[in-house]
Amino acid sequence: MKKLLVFLKDYKKESVLAPTFKMLEAIFELLVPLAVTAIIDEGINKGNSSVVWRACGFMLLLGVVGLISALCAQFFAARAAVGFATKVRSALFSKIQSFSYSVTDKLGTSTLITRLTSDINSAQTGVNMFLRLFMRSPFIVFGAMICAMLIDFWLGLIFAGVIVILAVIVFGIMLINIKLHKKTQARLDGVVSKVRGNYGGTRVVRAFNKEDEEIEEFDKRIDSLNKLQLFSGKISALMNPLTYAIINLAVILLIRNGALEVEVNGITQGELIALYNYMSQILVELIKLASLIITLNKAAASASRISSILDTPSDIDHEVSKSSLETDKTVVFENVSFRYDTEGEGEAALKDISFTARRGDTIGIIGGTGSGKSTLANLIPGFYHATEGNIFINGKNASLLSADELEASFAIVPQKATLFSGSIRSNLLWGNKNADEDELWNALELACAKDFVEEKAGRLDEELLQGGKNFSGGQRQRLTIARALVRRPEILILDDSASALDYATESALRKNIASLDYDPTVFIVSQRASSIMHADLIIVLEDGEAVGMGKHEELLETCEVYREIYDSQFSKGGESK
């Protein structure tokens, strides 16, 4: 939790005022038993009604001022807690956005979602409760003990003994609960992961009639979570009966010994009632403190999980070259290797890849399924970082460039066309938020998407459902390509982004990209030989290795893998099968 306290620095005033007002409320509450003493000893026993009315008025005043103090404390505590959570959530989201795919894969999307939601909410509640009660409850507990000792020292020792015993119980349960909460949050990650996977793959689950099996697996995970939460709840539930039992035993002892003191005139009847009231206050506040400690335990466990994400380092753990290359070399790979399992000894997804792409070049990447095509494409913009070797972008090592520097140079169209709920216009503006109407239509025309957008009733303002589900697969791909072209990127990466297009549309798209007037470096990842056969350089991958590099004619002569791919897709006459 300490690492996150820096996010409270802008709320220093609120963090001081909230406990201060709570302390004032506690002081007023401690004065109430003294007013009751005056009513009994000076008013009722002596028949002095004016003392009774004055004491009642004083108690009413204490109640009003205490209420105002409590409301002020609640306001400042809530303001600080909400502000704290907002800043933590923003910092955590920014940190997650900076992660490469390797780190995200390692941590898991589900646990990141849980930490952005459940864990931050838990930390927010912890801050709120801490500012409101952490000073108040101990102050009333020890204040009541001191007031009791001032009335009668020996009876006050009962209070001291009760506090010690209850402290042992409270902190013992606290230590058990903090470990249980960490396990609970880990199992919650598993439940979120299962739910997320099922919602993402609903159609596949139904297609294979796996609903019952998925429900059974979900029930197992939720049952495991439920059992752990119930066990944690049972441990926490011991708090109230134990504290009530000890306090009531203490009350019995207090009343017995206090009655003897009253009989021998050691204390007055009003003072005995005041002692009883102080004992009741201790009971209430210790129950509040016990609840607070459980809440703080959960908050501390959640804060630890959040801090672990904020402290997650970059996955660049090998020495990278700090030298520069000629700036006309847009992308250079120097003996680049990559493995997804960076901690283990898993097989490399890419092995010793080297090539150079200059401004205006078109680079084709082809190979069978699982050959490493998309992995290579994802290394270029820094989504993953090379395990070995160096990647240079515009003469500088990509590992030394900031995310902003990298993003300014690239536009990538991924395999899965990803669109966001909103309008066609709002999605295209992701590429360039300052693009005007003409630029948007030009990008749509280049992406062969202008015709079907013009046919829509809303045209650029036509509504898009989440994921673009109200458009066909080919339309979604063309919209994502248009979004990339709006940006006028220096480096354009098309990762199998025309797989849903027919050959004629793909050919027109390829010609439009080749005619761009700003000469971007274009990387085309495809399983179709027709998509890359006109490229300036074709990289043929097999099992993560570059088994061939060159132009189409060269590779037909020298690369067996490329020739097999080509022959499987074209007849001997050169026509597509």
What is the crossing angle of helices 49-98 and 269-310, to 10°?
10
Retrieve residue 109's tokens. Answer: 């999307």
CA nearest neighbour of 381 among 506, 467, 494, 543: 494
Residue 129 pLDDT: 86
Residue 365 pLDDT: 92
Q: What is the pLDDT of residues 430-460, one digit of tens each?
A: 888 888 889 999 999 998 988 898 888 888 8
- Residue 353, SS3? strand
Residue 231 pLDDT: 86
Rounded to an integer, the average pLDDT of 496-515 is 84
Domain boundaries, given as residue ranges, for the chain = 2-188+224-310, 329-569
State the Cα–Cα distance between residues 577 and 569, nearest whole angstrom: 6
What is the crossing angle of helices 136-151 and 120-133, to 10°?
30
Q: What is the pLDDT of residues 293-351, one digit of tens each?
A: 778 777 887 888 888 888 887 665 555 555 555 566 788 998 998 888 766 566 788 89
Q: What distance lies between CA 167 and its chain's CA centroid?
A: 35
Strands (E), 431-506: 463-464, 491-495
pLDDT of 159 higher than 80: no
Report the 10 Å Cβ neighbour count for 368: 15
Residue 326 pLDDT: 57
Query: DSSP string covering 223-266, please?
Result: HHHHHHHHHHHHHHHTHHHHHHHHHHHHHHHHHHHHHHHHHTTS
Q: What is the pLDDT of residues 238-271, one digit of tens each?
A: 777 887 788 778 778 878 777 777 777 667 777 7
Contact call for residues 112 and 193 (beta carbons, < 8 A): no
Query: DSSP string covering 388-428, please?
Result: EEEEEETTEEGGGS-HHHHHHHEEEE-SS----SEEHHHHH
Q: What distance lies between CA 408 and its chain's CA centroid?
A: 25
For domain 329-569, give the fold.
Rossmann fold (3.40.50)
Rounded to an integer, the average pLDDT of 29-57 is 78
Compute the mean pLDDT over every residue in the chain, rounded to the nearest whole number. Answer: 82
Residue 539 pLDDT: 92
Residue 573 pLDDT: 46
1.10.10.10, 1.10.3720.10, 1.20.1560.10, 1.10.760.10: CATH of 2-188+224-310: 1.20.1560.10
Q: What is the pLDDT of residues 376-423, one digit of tens each?
A: 988 888 888 888 888 888 888 887 777 777 777 888 888 888 888 888
pLDDT of 183 higher than 70: yes
Name the residue type at position 131: L
pLDDT of 501 higher than 50: yes
Residue 22 pLDDT: 86
| Its pTM surpasses 0.85 | no
Long-range CB contacts for residues 507-511, cutoff 8 Å, separation at least 24: 508/448, 509/446, 509/447, 509/448, 509/478, 509/481, 510/534
Residue 266 pLDDT: 67
DSSP-derived secondary structure letter, 201: T
Residue 189 pLDDT: 77
**Of 81 and 3, which is predicted with more confidence?**
81
Terminal Cα distance for the chain, rounded = 64
